[in-house]
C-alpha cells in the first residue's frame, strides 16, 4: 500500500489531478515508470492496480553487482522522451528483497532531478540498515527521496502488518488525497496537530492504529538497541557468507551487503563445471529440492532467489534471536537435505 500511495502521488504530480480511467491525461501521452530488474513485485503491481499499466513500467537492467544500471536508466528515459511519452517516477531499492543489494541512490537521485522525476525509494526491507554506522555510506542519497516506503514488520521487529510511507512534500499528498469536499469528515475548531487526518494522505478512510506497535517498540527498546540488533543480523549474514566461501560444497551467488545471503549447494564433483548450462540446470533442480526439504523439515527456513539465472538458497536474517550457532547449523541442515 505504501508503494501504491507513492506511485499515485507521483503520477498526479506529473500528470495533473484529473486522471482518466485509461491512465492517460489531457495530453494523451502515457506516463512511464522506471525500476530495476531486481525491484519488488509490489511496484509493477501498484502501477497495474492504479491503471497506469504494467506496459508502462520500464525494467532497467542491473550491473554485475545487481544494482540498477544508471547509464541504462538515462538511456531509457531519453528514449521515452523521444517518443513523446511522459516519464514521471523512478523507483530505487534501499536493499532489494532478493539479495539485499542497495541501488546507487545518489546517482539515481541525480537522474531524477535532471528529468524532473519523482524519486521513490523502496526501503521496505533494507531501509533500517541505515542505522548501522558501518553501512550508512551505502545509503547516501536516500535523504533526497521524495518518498520512502518502510515495512517495520520486516526489520524493526514489529508484528505484521506495519507499513508506512515517509514523504517530503505535504501539499502534493493532500492535493492527491484531500477530502475537503466531504462535509461529514471536516475538522472544525482543532489545533493543527489535532486536525491531522490520515485519510488526507492515503487511500484508507477507516484504519487500524498500526503505528501503535511501532511506537511501543521504539519507546521500549530505543533506537540504539534496535540498531545494535540490526547490525548483529548483518554480521551473522556476513558470517554465513564467509562459511559458504570457505566450504568446498557451497557457492556464494551474490554479495552479502545487508542481512541476506544467497548461495547454493554444489557437489564437489560439479565444482569445476558449475557454470556449464547442463550443470546449471541440474544444480537449479537440486537446490530447489534442498529448499523444499529444509522448509518442510522445520529445523531451519530458507527461501529462494534467482541470481544470474541460478536458483539460490536465500537466508534472510531479520530476527534478533538468531545466533552464530543457528547459522552454522543451517549449513549442516542443507548438507543433510542434499543427500
pLDDT tens-digit readout, 31-79? 999 999 999 999 999 999 999 988 999 999 999 999 999 999 999 999 9
Q: Are residues 69 and 195 in the same domain?
A: yes
Q: Are residues 125 and 238 in the same domain?
A: no
Residues 272-288: pLDDT tens digits?
A: 666 666 788 999 999 99
**Residue 199 phi, psi (nearest 5):** -70, -10
Q: Are residues 195 and 319 in the same domain?
A: no
- Distance in angstroms (rounded) separating the CA atoms of residues 19 and 52: 10
Q: Are residues 39 and 178 in the same domain?
A: yes
- Distance in angstroms (rounded) separating the CA atoms of residues 59 and 314: 23
**CA distances for 287 relative to 266, 284, 317, 319, angstroms:** 9, 5, 19, 24
Largest CA distance in the chain: 76
Q: Report how many domains make up the chain.
A: 2
Q: Are residues 111 and 231 in the same domain?
A: no
Q: Are residues 189 and 289 in the same domain?
A: no
Q: Are residues 241 and 145 in the same domain?
A: no
- Distance in angstroms (rounded) separating the CA atoms of residues 180 and 299: 54
- Distance in angstroms (rounded) separating the CA atoms of residues 73 and 84: 17
Query: The CATH number of the domain where 267 resides is what?
Result: 3.90.1150.170
Is the distance from CB of 284 to CB of 310 less than 8 angstroms? yes
- Distance in angstroms (rounded) separating the CA atoms of residues 154 and 164: 12
Q: Which of 247, 292, 253, 245 is nearest to 267 (CA)?
A: 247
Position 214 in a domain = no
Q: Are residues 170 and 263 in the same domain?
A: no
**CA neighbours within 13 Å on the CB side: how many for 326?**
16
Q: Are residues 11 and 133 in the same domain?
A: yes
Query: The CATH number of the domain where 76 resides is what?
Result: 3.40.640.10
Q: Are residues 42 and 96 in the same domain?
A: yes
pLDDT tens digits, the chain, 339 residues: what are they?
999 999 999 999 987 765 544 444 445 689 999 999 999 999 999 999 999 988 999 999 999 999 999 999 999 999 999 999 999 999 999 999 999 999 999 999 999 999 999 999 999 999 999 999 999 999 999 999 999 999 999 999 999 999 999 998 888 888 888 766 666 556 555 666 666 778 788 888 888 898 999 999 999 999 999 999 999 999 999 999 999 999 999 999 999 999 999 999 999 888 766 666 678 899 999 999 999 999 999 999 999 999 999 999 999 999 999 999 999 999 999 999 999
Position 297 in a domain = yes
Q: Running DSSP on this structure, what letter comes out for residue 254?
A: S
Helices and strands counted in the chain (H then E): 10, 10
Q: What domain range is 19 assigned to? A: 2-150+164-209
Q: Are residues 129 and 27 in the same domain?
A: yes
Stated pTM of the model = 0.90
Pairing type for strands 250-252 and 260-265 reads: antiparallel
Amino acid at each position: 500500500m505504501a508503494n501504491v500511495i507513492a506511485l499515485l502521488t507521483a503520477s498526479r504530480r506529473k500528470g495533473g489531478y484529473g486522471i482518466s480511467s485509461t491512465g492517460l491525461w489531457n495530453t494523451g501521452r502515457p506516463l512511464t515508470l522506471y525500476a530495476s530488474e531486481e525491484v519488488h513485485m509490489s511496484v509493477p503491481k501498484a502501477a497495474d492496480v492504479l491503471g497506469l499499466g504494467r506496459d508502462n513500467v520500464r525494467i532497467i537492467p542491473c550491473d554485475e553487482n545487481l544494482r540498477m544500471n544508471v547509464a541504462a536508466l538515462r538511456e531509457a528515459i531519453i528514449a521515452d522522451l523521444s517518443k513523446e511519452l511522459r516519464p514521471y517516477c523512478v523507483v530505487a531499492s534501499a536493499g532489494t528483497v532478493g539479495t539485499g543489494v542497495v541501488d546507487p541512490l545518489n546517482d539515481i537521485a541525480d537522474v531524477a532531478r535532471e528529468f524532473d522525476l519523482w524519486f521513490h525509494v523502496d526501503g521496505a526491507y533494507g531501509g533500517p540498515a541505515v542505522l548501522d554506522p558501518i553501512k550508512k555510506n551505502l545509503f547516501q542519497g536516500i535523504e533526497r527521496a521524495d518518498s520512502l516506503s518502510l515495512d517495520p514488520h520486516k526489520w524493526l521487529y514489529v508484528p505484521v502488518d506495519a507499513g508506512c510511507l515517509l514523504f517530503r512534500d505535504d501539499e502534493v499528498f493532500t492535493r492527491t488525497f484531500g477530502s475537503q469536499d466531504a462535509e461529514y469528515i471536516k475538522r472544525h475548531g482543532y489545533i493543527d496537530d489535532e486536525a491531522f487526518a490520515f485519510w488526507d494522505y492515503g487511500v484508507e478512510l477507516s484504519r487500524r492504529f498500526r503505528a501503535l506497535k511501532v511506537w511501543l517498540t521504539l519507546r521500549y527498546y530505543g533506537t540504539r538497541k534496535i540498531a545494535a540488533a540490526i547490525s548483529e543480523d548483518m554480521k551473522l549474514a556476513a558470517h554465513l557468507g564467509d562459511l559458504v566461501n570457505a566450504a568446498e560444497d557451497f557457492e556464494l551467488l551474490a554479495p552479502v551487503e545487508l542481512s541476506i545471503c544467497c548461495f547454493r549447494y554444489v557437489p564437489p564433483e560439479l565444482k569445476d563445471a558449475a557454470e556449464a548450462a547442463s550443470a546449471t540446470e541440474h544444480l537449479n533442480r537440486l537446490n530447489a529440492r534442498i529448499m523444499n526439504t529444509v522448509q518442510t523439515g522445520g529445523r531451519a527456513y530458507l527461501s529462494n532467489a534467482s541470481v544470474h539465472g541460478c536458483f539460490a538458497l536465500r537466508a534472510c536474517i531479520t530476527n534478533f534471536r538468531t545466533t552464530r550457532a543457528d547459522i552454522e547449523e543451517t549449513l549442516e541442515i542443507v548438507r543433510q537435505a542434499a543427500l
